[in-house]
């Protein structure tokens, strides 16, 4: 069976991730465990529309570390994708130039619609019958700067792995923290203002996506998997227990509300939460609660009862690697 070895880097507002995997007709097969570094590239970008010097240096340090890992593997192609924070930063050219100097590849600053499609590809490609998923699927990728909603086909008129509509909302854990939840812990007034802001964006998204037709919600990203682990009652984060778990809305919304009202010092005592998420996870949890509530309400108007979601460790990064590998395999076939 033909295969290629590809590497993907997902550079978001809060974290940067690396995956090296073999890709063949059956999918992707990781070569090394995925790496994550919290770099907070989007620090203050919502306010200044500029990358700060400290944020850039954190990003470059992570890129140098990734470069050392990549030197140990015979990679056929590397794809570096940058998302929300980079889209918003006026000085992104400096960032792109330096990343290219370190890694030898220029970042692709992709629009929200493409980010959504890649997240959908990554999340749905790893579904198992054990998850008992029913199309249409709504993939929710809740990031630091943006949150993507992606709806797929019903499996009848449109293939269930085909994106039918998508929308990228400029709300996320870092953006909502910096914009609204600035006290420690946040005040009720700040929370109310954040809820109003989140729902304004959801209102707009719902004009583009028929979320009422959703049969299965798949949640991806660090915020979602972190809050899922808490909803499951884990003392430490366990990827195998979280990935593919079906979680009741009531469980995660209770966990979301608890973390939202905690101080940073209280969150620091919860080992499930990555240290790099302590100050922003409350805002991410609030976004997650509101998205689940609104989608559930919309589905109910069509007679569908949505009471749970599937938590997934597979999203944008998997989509980047899988898409890159498939394109490379196709080009090699065409040449042959």
Q: Is residue 52 part of a domain?
A: yes
Domain membership of residue 62 as a residue range:
4-112
CB proximity list for 264: less than 8 A, separation 6 or greater: 184, 278, 279
In a domain, 323, yes or no: no
The pLDDT assigned to 335 comes to 60
pLDDT in the model for residue 253: 98
Pairing type for strands 216-220 and 308-311 reads: parallel
Chain segment 37-79, per-residue pLDDT in tens: 999 999 999 999 999 999 999 999 999 999 999 999 999 999 9
Work out the angle at residue 118's Cα, subtended by the Cα atoms of residues 173 and 1, and round it to the nearest 5 degrees: 140
Q: Are residues 105 and 132 in the same domain?
A: no
Last residue of a domain, one of 112, 139, 155: 112
Residue 120 lies in a domain: no
What pLDDT score does 122 carry?
93
How far is 194 from 176, CA to CA, in rounded Å?
7
| pLDDT of amino acid 311 | 96
**Rounded-to-integer distance, Cα 293 and Cα 222, Å:** 20
Query: Which residue is it, tokens 């033909």?
Result: 2
* Element spanning 228, H or E: helix 222-231
Q: 131 and 52 in one domain?
A: no
Q: Give a yes or no: residue 118 inside a domain.
A: no
Name residues of the chain where pLDDT drops below 50.
none
pLDDT at position 85: 82
Residues 27 and 135 in one domain: no
Q: Within this chain, do residues 174 and 208 fall inside the same structural domain, yes or no?
A: yes
- What H or E segment, with its residue span, contains residue 145? none
Indicate the number of domains in the chain: 2
pLDDT at 113: 86
Query: 170 and 303 share a domain?
Result: yes
Greatest distance between any 2 Cα atoms in the chain:
63
- Given a contact cutoff of 8 angstroms between Cβ atoms, the answer to whether 257 and 289 are in contact is yes
List the CATH number of the domain containing 30: 3.30.420.40
Count of C-beta atoms within a 10 Å radius of residue 130: 8
Residues contacting residue 134 through CB under 8 Å, at least 6 positions apart = 215, 216
Does residue 47 sit in the same domain as residue 79? yes
pLDDT of residue 336: 52
Per the domain annotation, does 329 fall within a domain? no
91 plus 154 within the same structural domain: no
- Dist CA 113 CA 83 (whole Å): 11
Identify the sign of the CA torsion 26, 31, 34, 39.
negative
Same-domain pairing of 184 and 36: no
pLDDT score for 33: 85
Query: Is residue 122 in a domain?
Result: no
* Number of neighbours of residue 320 by Cβ within 10 angstroms: 27
Q: What are the beta bridge partners of residue 216?
A: 137
């Amino acid at each position: 069976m033909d295969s290629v070895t590809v590497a993907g880097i997902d550079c978001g507002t809060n974290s940067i991730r690396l995956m090296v995997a073999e890709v063949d007709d059956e999918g992707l097969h990781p070569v090394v465990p995925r790496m994550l570094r919290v770099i907070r590239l989007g620090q203050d970008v919502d306010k200044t529309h500029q990358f700060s010097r400290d944020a850039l240096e954190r990003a470059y340090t992570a890129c140098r570390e990734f470069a050392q890992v990549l030197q140990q593997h015979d990679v056929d192609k590397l794809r570096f994708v940058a998302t929300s924070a980079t889209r918003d930063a006026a000085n992104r050219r400096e960032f792109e130039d330096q990343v290219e100097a370190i890694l030898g590849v220029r970042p692709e600053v992709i629009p929200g619609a493409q980010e959504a499609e890649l997240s959908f590809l990554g999340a749905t490609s790893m579904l198992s019958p054990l998850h008992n998923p029913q199309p249409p699927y709504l993939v929710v990728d809740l990031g630091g700067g943006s949150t993507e909603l992606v709806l797929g086909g019903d499996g009848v008129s449109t293939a269930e792995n085909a994106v039918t509509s998508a929308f990228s909302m400029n709300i996320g854990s870092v953006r909502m923290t910096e914009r609204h939840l600035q006290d420690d812990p946040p005040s009720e007034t700040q929370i109310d203002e954040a809820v109003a802001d989140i729902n304004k964006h959801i209102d707009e998204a719902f004009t583009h996506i028929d979320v009422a037709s959703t049969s299965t919600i798949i949640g991806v990203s660090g915020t979602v998997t972190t809050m899922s682990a808490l909803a499951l009652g884990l003392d430490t984060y366990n990827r195998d227990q979280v990935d593919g778990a079906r979680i009741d809305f009531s469980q995660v919304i209770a966990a979301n509300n608890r973390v939202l009202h905690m101080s940073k010092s209280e969150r620091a005592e919860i080992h499930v939460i990555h240290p790099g998420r302590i100050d922003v996870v409350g805002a991410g949890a609030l976004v997650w609660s509101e998205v689940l509530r609104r989608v559930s309400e919309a589905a109910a108007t069509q007679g569908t009862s949505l009471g749970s979601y599937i938590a997934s460790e597979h999203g944008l990064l998997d989509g980047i690697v899988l898409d890159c590998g498939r394109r490379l395999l196709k080009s090699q076939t065409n040449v042959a």
